[in-house]
Amino acid sequence: MSKPLTDQEKRKQISVRGLAGVENVSDLKTNFNRHLHFTLVKDRNVATKRDYYFALANTVRDHLVGRWIRTQQHYYEKDPKRVYYLSLEFYMGRTLQNTMVNLALENACDEATYQLGLDMEELQDIEEDAGLGNGGLGRLAACFLDSMASLGLAAYGYGIRYEFGIFNQKIVSGWQVEEADDWLRYGNPWEKARPEYMRPVHFYGRVEHTPEGVKWVDTQVVLALPYDTPVPGYRNNIVNTMRLWSAKAPCDFNLKDFNVGGYIQAVLDRNLAENISRVLYPNDNFFEGKELRLKQEYFVVAATLQDIIRRFKASKFGSTEYVRLDLSTLPDKVAIQLNDTHPALAIPELMRILVDVEKLTWEKSWDIVVRTCAYTNHTVLPEALERWPVDLFQNLLPRHLEIIYEINRRHLERIAKLYPGDHDRLRRMSLIEEGNVKKINMAHLCIVGSHAVNGVARIHSEIIKDTVFKDFYDVDPQKFQNKTNGITPRRWLVMCNPGLAEVIAERIGEDYIRDLDQLKKLLKFVNDDAFIRDVAKVKQENKMKFAAHLEDHYKVKINPNSMFDVQVKRIHEYKRQLLNCLHIITLYNRIKREPNKSWTPRTIMIGGKAAPGYHTAKMIIKLITSIGDIVNNDPVVGDRLKVIFLENYRVTLAEKVIPAADLSEQISTAGTEASGTGNMKFMLNGALTIGTMDGANVEMAEEAGEENLFIFGMRVPDVEALDKKGYDAMSYYNRIPELKQAMDQISGGFFSPNQHDLFKDLVNMLMHHDRLELISCVITVDMHITNPKEWTKMVIHNIAGCGKFSSDRTITQYAREIWGMEPSLEKIAPSLPET
């Protein structure tokens, strides 16, 4: 019998990782050693793993540079319409492996490092995640960048280069503890500072109305220093740019007016200006109206718009002479997409530039702004909507406040003409909310200032039109669209699950990677025993690998033959990790009641971060870990039920756990999760979904067949009816014995023996402030797992139905239906011809 293949030998056989030609490998080795030498390592024996990682990263980066320059030159020659994706978050994760996948270098680099006596996977593990996002919204932006490059769009991602990204989560005695994410500590080989494009950004000051026009004077200036990161398309030689701004104090900061002896303090105070790009606000789906956050929002917008207009005027490659002076054609050459309301200030800022600086009329300027901007709404949760106090604006951005007032005046004038005497409608639709504290409703500003407004799943886009923005839909129905979210199949299949990618490629070829609809062809194989076996085998290997990872990193032993039941996402009441907890307790009680029954073993994994100021979310984490302490140490239960909290869930951990999952928990109350994208990642990687009819789950059930998901719970109309009627948790508590037992155990201290009332707030919330249904679906899932072959057939139906959920489809729709651009699958030349 032949000895089993090593990991490296297995990887070599995976064709989707690219060809390892002899020349290629030999060149890579030469370049690797050259870079190692440049890290000032005189002797290979003293090089650290990190030295090797940087050498490999720089070697791979060399392959990007020629393509990057060539792409930008290509855009200058062709002068296409450009799209600017503005986002306060880009949750990129690691870059090395993704770059190798998109450049078809994976097998060649693997072979080169292997010949040099190194293990490429070990080197990949040294890279820090770029955690510049909280969750779905930031990760969506990252997937979109990958798709825009792969579809040949002239696209730019613009955001902030946070010095500290989303915090690292430690679990200490069952509680979340935050640690700063010092991701730049060792440097970042993927970014290039571009000081030549530094831009001033103004704050504070006052407004002067003069005969020559309006002037914003006596401002404080902060400089925006851009850092560019290459974004390679999938094997088409296109490399786009993500440009992130970092805040720098000007040289004369605080020195113009310092008193004798104040020099040292003035230099120390430079930190105040530079704090703007210091740290990502760690809130997901929650608005915190802090001045520093408003500064961040204006900072990215003001720097980006200067860049957009400079590029619009300059057009010829490498030329700084302005050739386009007429800004009326801006919407023909520029599309600006606002990722939620966070970059909403782009609307008044572009107005300020056109009216005050370029001296266009208000009417002409407003026409340009509306035709250029489009807005994506990401949530209907009221606590997440941005409402900025007017006095904060008055102080920080006085000119923008005046402009917003004028936008509002004209907007309300139009509404009053359409609905004479309807004062309540004017109040509802105003950009300014009256009350104790006057506030600016940023969503209303975005709708009025954009030509397109979209939700991120069909059900969410309907809810927007029917409820939150109904008044706006009534007057401008043509503005409202749906763009169901998607994920990039490069990172979320080829890169994180090469085994499955290969099994699929063996049946239908590799083209599906750029055209995910081709997965439909797998339906031919749904009864093919060999295919069923292959799919199940890949899943089992992924489970073994993840079990080994948990043992290595967390000293946790799990049974790889159990069902991996996974809920990973930010911790939030609406995502209902608590419903999962009640289910776990119920399962535990059933096993305890009938210990001799044959139970399908389960390992339930829950992971995700809680915003540091969100007390309830932190209590939910403590409850999960406390339930784990009891369940995992009960000898009667053994390994039939285990509860694991996955610490520090992030992009890189998602790439490991998702390919190993059997069951994906998507259990938000219907009408609360705008779309979800984790749901799509699990589906693509061969897990089955247990979930509610919420967000994109609705469309997933449609694509795969509802019989191939475990759908339970109320639909949106049921939830609305229950809200009207008044939800009474007590009646459920008294009617369902298993639910009553679980609640009594939580409130009675069964899971907190040292502090019986530890979870009283959670219990109180569940009994008095929550909508709850106990899962009725668990029995169905248990039945299916006992028949592995039927389970795998359901899995194949799910994978075959994933085509719609590629971000390539999403971006194609944005391009055609919002931006007025046409995607292209053509390859360009990899680099400039030699002169």
Give me the active site residues, please. 378, 569-570, 575, 677, 681
Q: For tokens 């948990």, what's the residue?
A: 550
Give the span between the Cα atoms of 32 and 345, in whole angstroms: 45
Query: How do beta strands 192-193 and 641-646 pair?
Result: unpaired
Give the span between the Cα atoms of 532 and 367, in whole angstroms: 57
How many CB atoms are located within 10 Å of the residue 319 CB? 10
Report whether 235 contacts 104 (CB < 8 A): yes
As beta bridge partners, residue 72 has none
Give the span between the Cα atoms of 496 and 498, in whole angstroms: 6
Sign of CA dihedral 801, 662, 508, 142: positive
DSSP H or E run through 665:
strand 663-666
Give which of 406, 415, 316, 324 is closest to 369, Cα–Cα.
406
Report whether 521 contacts 508 (CB < 8 A): yes
Give the span between the Cα atoms of 458 and 672, in whole angstroms: 13
Give which of 464, 86, 91 is closest to 305, Cα–Cα.
86
Give the span between the Cα atoms of 831 and 192, in whole angstroms: 19
Query: How do beta strands 220-232 and 192-193 pair?
Result: antiparallel
Amino acid at 202: H
Report whether 693 contacts 713 (CB < 8 A): yes
- Reduced 3-state DSSP string for 365-407: HHHHHHHHEEEECCCCCHHHCCEEEHHHHHHHCHHHHHHHHHH
Question: What is the per-residue DSSP string for 746-812?
Answer: HHHTTT-TT-TTTTHHHHHHHHHS------S-HHHHHHHHT-HHHHHHHHHHHHHT-GGGBHHHHHH
CA distances from 616 to 330, 748, 767 (A): 47, 19, 14
- Residue 633, φ and ψ in degrees, nearest 5: -110, 15
- Reduced 3-state DSSP string for 63-89: HHHHHHHHHHHHHHHHCCCEEEEECCC
Task: Report angle CA 576, 578, 579 to the nearest 5 degrees.
Answer: 70
Q: Helix, strand or coil for residue 168?
A: strand
Find the distance separating the first CA and the last CA of the chain, reported in whole Å. 57
Report whether 167 contacts 180 (CB < 8 A): yes
CA distances from 834 to 92, 243, 670, 831 (A): 34, 28, 59, 9
Q: For tokens 């292997």, what's the residue?
A: 114
CA distances from 733 to 681, 703, 761, 766, 768 (A): 35, 36, 17, 10, 11
User: What would you report as the CA-atom Rg of the chain, rounded to the nearest whole angstrom?
Assistant: 28
Give the span between the Cα atoms of 230 and 69, in whole angstroms: 10
Q: Helix, strand or coil for residue 106?
A: helix
